[in-house]
């Protein structure tokens, strides 16, 4: 495949064809403006793409915690330190950058380390169309330094089951374990953050 700069991205025929297929014209034009900007500044393109991937990953982690709070964690809310999911996303992207398929070849296991051991929250295959080349295990850590609130003492044993915790607070620390699947000589990489 050869890329050339002779393609007119905003040709009226192209936009009208997409509008006929019921695509939103404003959305199409914004998307084309974005890619025109990226083509004029290639370094900016890499930064923007990485930033978008980082935001998507951070959102994916937040959604996982949200889904898990009632089903696996049995709590009413999960308190996440500011920018924790963003930091984790940056580390995941860094670990994926040296892989043959990048992030697309990743299988991500998300766990939470509690006082009594680890609970698996979710297994995420980033791109199901790509054969996985590595696994990442993300371990969130519970904040053990937090004192329970007075309200928590009132709720204990009254209207909630003994396993129900009203609030779970996460520590700013986490652990990432990387395991390559395509190389027998490659070891496991453990990073504590």
Is 5 within the bounds of a domain? no
Q: What is the pLDDT of residue 190?
A: 64
Q: What is the pLDDT of residue 182?
A: 78
Q: What is the pLDDT of residue 24?
A: 58
Is 71 within the bounds of a domain? yes
Is 31 within the bounds of a domain? no
Is 76 within the bounds of a domain? yes
Do 104 and 130 meet the contact criterion of CB atoms below 8 Å apart?
A: yes
**Angle between helix 25-40 and helix 42-71 axes, rounded to 10 deg:** 130
Q: What is the pLDDT of residue 40?
A: 56
Neighbour count for residue 53 (Cβ, 10 Å)? 18
Q: What is the pLDDT of residue 19?
A: 54
Percentages helix, strand, coil for the chain (3-state, rounded to 5) are: 40, 25, 30
Q: What is the pLDDT of residue 186?
A: 58
Q: What is the pLDDT of residue 94?
A: 92
Structure tokens at 107: 């299988």
Range of the domain at 150: 42-192
Q: What is the pLDDT of residue 59?
A: 93
Q: Distance between the two ends of the chain, CA-based, in angstroms?
A: 41
Q: What is the pLDDT of residue 189?
A: 64
Please report how many Cα atoms fall inside a 13 Å half-sphere around the Cα of residue 112, on the Cβ side. 23
Q: What is the pLDDT of residue 22?
A: 54
Q: What is the pLDDT of residue 3?
A: 41
Rounded CA gap, 85 and 82, in Å? 8
- Structure confidence by residue, pLDDT tens digits, 163-180: 556 788 999 999 999 998
Rounded CA gap, 175 and 52, in Å? 23
Strand partners, 75: 165
For the chain, list residues with pLDDT below 70: 1-50, 146-165, 183-193
CATH at 95: 3.90.470.40
Rounded CA gap, 165 and 156, in Å? 9
Total domains in the fold of the chain = 1
Is 140 within the bounds of a domain? yes
Is 19 within the bounds of a domain? no
Pairing mode, strands 117-125 and 106-114: antiparallel
Rounded CA gap, 107 and 134, in Å? 7
Please report how many Cα atoms fall inside a 13 Å half-sphere around the Cα of residue 177, on the Cβ side. 9
Is 9 within the bounds of a domain? no
Is 1 within the bounds of a domain? no
């Amino acid at each position: 495949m050869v890329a050339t700069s002779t393609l007119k991205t905003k040709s009226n025929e192209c936009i009208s064809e997409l509008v006929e297929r019921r695509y939103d014209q404003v959305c199409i034009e914004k998307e084309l403006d974005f890619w025109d900007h990226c083509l004029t500044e290639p370094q900016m393109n890499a930064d923007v793409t990485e930033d978008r991937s980082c935001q998507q990953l951070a959102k994916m982690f937040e959604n996982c915690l949200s889904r898990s709070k009632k089903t696996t964690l049995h709590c009413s809310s999960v308190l996440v330190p500011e920018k924790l999911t963003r930091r984790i996303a940056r580390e995941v992207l860094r670990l994926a950058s040296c892989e043959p398929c990048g992030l697309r070849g990743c299988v991500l296991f998300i766990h939470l380390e509690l006082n009594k051991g680890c609970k698996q929250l979710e297994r995420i295959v980033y791109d199901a169309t790509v054969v996985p080349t590595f696994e990442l295990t993300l371990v969130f850590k519970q904040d053990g330094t937090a004192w329970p609130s007075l309200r928590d003492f009132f709720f204990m044993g009254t209207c909630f089951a003994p396993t129900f915790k009203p609030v779970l607070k996460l520590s700013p620390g986490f652990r990432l374990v990387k395991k390559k699947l395509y190389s027998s000589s490659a070891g496991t990489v453990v990073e504590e953050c």
